[in-house]
Amino acid sequence: MKKLFYINYPQEHIEGHLHRYRCSHCKEETTIINGRLEGHLPLCTYRKKLENDGYEEDGVESTKNLASHDADDFD
């Protein structure tokens, strides 16, 4: 179980598929991303932004607390 879901990324409709959407940055499907930052491609602008904001980084105090608390959730 995850504490956070990263679903506020820009999405776009996949042409020709009625109910399928993808990240407008890395074009990965939402069903593959599944709310996980790791679901985005490594070069995804959205993923890189969150990583730059401190996700999974030890340098940011608040994130460090979250990461240690929910260490089991990152696999």
Which of 6, 22, 30, 40 is the binder for Zn ion (CB under 5 A)? Answer: 40
At 18, the amino acid letter reads: L
Residue 26 within binding range of Zn ion, rule CB under 5 A: yes
Q: Are 53 and 41 in contact (CB under 8 A)?
A: no
Residue 22 within binding range of Zn ion, rule CB under 5 A: no
In the complex with Zn ion, which residue's Cβ is closer, 11 or 64?
Answer: 11
Interatomic CA distance for residues 64 and 44, integer angstroms: 23
**Minimum distance of Zn ion from residue 11's CB (angstroms):** 9
- In the beta sheet, which residues pair with residue 13? 21
Q: How many residues sit close enough to Zn ion to count as binding (CB under 5 A)? A: 6
